[in-house]
Structure 1
Amino acid sequence: MAENALIDFTTLESGMDEKAAAYRSAQPFPHIVLDDVLVPEAFDKAVGEFPGIKDEFWQGYLHVNETKYSNTQPDTWGPTLHDVAEEFCSPRFVAFLEKLTGIEGLMSDWTMDGGGLHQTLRGGHLNIHADFTTHHTHQNWARRVNILLYLNEEWPEEWGGKLELWDKDMTACQGTVTPAGNRMLVFTTSFDSFHGHPDPLTCPDTVARRSMALYYFTEEEHAVRRSTNYQPRPDESVTRKAAIRADRTIVDIYDRVKRRLGISDERIQAILARVDKIRRR
């Protein structure tokens, strides 16, 4: 392994036929969980460089369907985090994803549209959803694959925060992924790849659920746009279901306006936060 290696490609690329078969047959949608993706030294450095909870570059997404923060500016990240993201955009890693998923012509996205570094604090959540389906700038880019690399030093079970994977009819959770450090989830983006961690985190106030997310696209002549499709769980209250659906409608309107007029995320998040505050009264 090269002296300055960040990703353990030797382990990642071993047994590709078995991994690809497992990925494509996974339920409720194609996915795989891979541990020890970064070499230990790179993981330790990446964790050490992860921005603090109150870092100035965090942007809040604080509304009914999610309470999390993101940083989509790699130039503000530490050198190891920056270089890890570059490796995830490299031809070798993209080729690995193509072999794993069976999707040809994948393109990485250094603009981090919807991706980047994410943190969720105590009490935070992300409702069950399927992701938006086309790039906001390159609207003929169809979103096809997600990767989530967890960057938590520790994550005890009692803190919650497991990512739930739901069936396409939203009748039952069919799997969970604990956000353990150096663990990566890879999954196919589709209209019904429903996932999220909807219950409030119970981690200490000084700890965040931390990850790096990158998305991969294919260029399509007629890419079908759909905004993030939040869904209530079957046992949610009537009031809660109504709030989730109303918030989803606002997000969809914002998605359309953002694409046409370039309105900033900060403005829409302020509107969504006000709606959430009214709902809580």
Structure 2
Amino acid sequence: MNILNEAYRDLTFIAERNAGNYQQAHPFPYIYFDNFFDESFLNTVLSEFPDLRTVNASSYNSPTELKLASKGEGQFSPSAKQLAYFLNSEPFLKFLNTLTGINETLLPDPYFQGGGYHEIKKGGYLKIHADFNKHQATQLDRRINVLVYLNKDWMPEYGGDFELWDESMQKKEVGIAPLFNRMAIFSTTSLSYHGHPDALNCPDDRSRKSFALYYYTNGRPENETIAFKDMHGTIFKDRKGVEADKSMKRFTAFACVLKNVMPPFIFNGIRRIFIKD
């Protein structure tokens, strides 16, 4: 079975044609493609999407995120493995290098740290944030996120747009609906603020599903490392003037550091203290 839509099978051509738009995008480099994958193939990926409540998935429940995510490749279905292997393959890595203008050799993450299946149920969210900047095991620098959305017949009133915000957190610059067979790509730095900050308003029997892949390099340009030379976790930011985001302030600044150095049961106990109203 073909993985790519026929219109996108010449990856070099697609990357060269879209490189300028990607690299000059605001508030930071990004792009999205519709119908990038063969529809029959992606239908299979969706049909095999597991109930993340019944497998050994990560469950996030805090003022900053309410979502589910898989842990590693072991939970991937056969078609999801095909998708992951393609997105981590040499042709796709070269496509990303050309599209993004990143000069360093891109490397995939065979451990899928933070990647794989993502799901947000009704009422869930992922507050605006910048991603962790280094891979926990390899210490490589995180450079690119690729998100493949798996939501058929998605209505605007459900919410769930992928939002890109300016560095001052004054306003949303871009909103991208998480539509089926839409692939979003963006460059990750310690100032590339993005997320899905408002509670999802879909029907009870629906959810916001996606498949995420992250890419790394050994080192990054100096202008991207000056402010955040050391390893950091996810940096959550409150939107200016949004009351619902203010509960993050008491614990977010140090939680990103503590989460990487403390056993989970200790970290979660401290988190509960500081998010208490």
| AA at the equivalent of 1:78 | S
- How far residue 268 of structure 1 moved from its aligned partner, in angstroms, is 6.4
- Count of residue pairs brought into register by the alignment: 267
Matches of 1:190 and 1:209 in 2, distance apart?
25
Q: Quick check: 1:5 aligned with 2:9? A: no
Aligned equivalent of 2:67: 68
Please tell me the root mean square deviation across aligned C-alpha atoms, in Å: 2.2
Alpha carbons of structure 1 residues 154 and 74: separation in structure 2 relative to 1, 3 Å: farther
Consecutive unaligned residues of structure 1, counting only runs of 5 or more, are: none
Do the aligned residues in 2 keep the contact of 1:94 with 1:106 (CA within 8 Å)?
Answer: yes
- How far residue 28 of structure 1 moved from its aligned partner, in angstroms, is 0.5
Measured against aligned partners, the alpha-carbon deviations of 1:177-217 in whole angstroms (never above 9, x if no partner) come to: 00000101100001111111111001112211000111100
Do the aligned residues in 1 keep the contact of 2:166 with 2:173 (CA within 8 Å)?
Answer: yes
Measured against aligned partners, the alpha-carbon deviations of 1:84-127 in whole angstroms (never above 9, x if no partner) come to: 01111111111110010011300000111121110001000111
- With normalisation by structure 1, the TM-score equals 0.88
Aligned equivalent of 1:235: 241
- From 225, 246, 252, give the equivalent of 1:248: 252
Matches of 2:200 and 2:267 in 1, distance apart?
21
Do the aligned residues in 1 keep the contact of 2:72 with 2:113 (CA within 8 Å)?
Answer: no
Aligned equivalent of 1:138: 138
- How far residue 271 of structure 1 moved from its aligned partner, in angstroms, is 3.5
Q: How does 1:265-276 map to 2 (within 5 A)?
A: 267=265, 270-271=268-269, 274-275=272-273
Matches of 2:258 and 2:38 in 1, distance apart?
40
Matches of 1:115 and 1:89 in 2, distance apart?
12
Matches of 2:119 and 2:217 in 1, distance apart?
27
Do the aligned residues in 2 keep the contact of 1:75 with 1:82 (CA within 8 Å)?
Answer: no
Do the aligned residues in 2 keep the contact of 1:165 with 1:196 (CA within 8 Å)?
Answer: yes
- How far residue 11 of structure 1 moved from its aligned partner, in angstroms, is 5.7
Consecutive unaligned residues of structure 2, counting only runs of 5 or more, are: none
Aligned equivalent of 1:278: 276
Q: How many percent of aligned residue pairs carry the same amino acid?
A: 33
Q: How does 1:4-23 map to 2 (within 5 A)?
A: 4-8=1-5, 9-10=8-9, 12-23=11-22
Matches of 1:274 and 1:244 in 2, distance apart?
12
Alpha carbons of structure 1 residues 240 and 76: separation in structure 2 relative to 1, 3 Å: closer
- How far residue 13 of structure 1 moved from its aligned partner, in angstroms, is 4.1
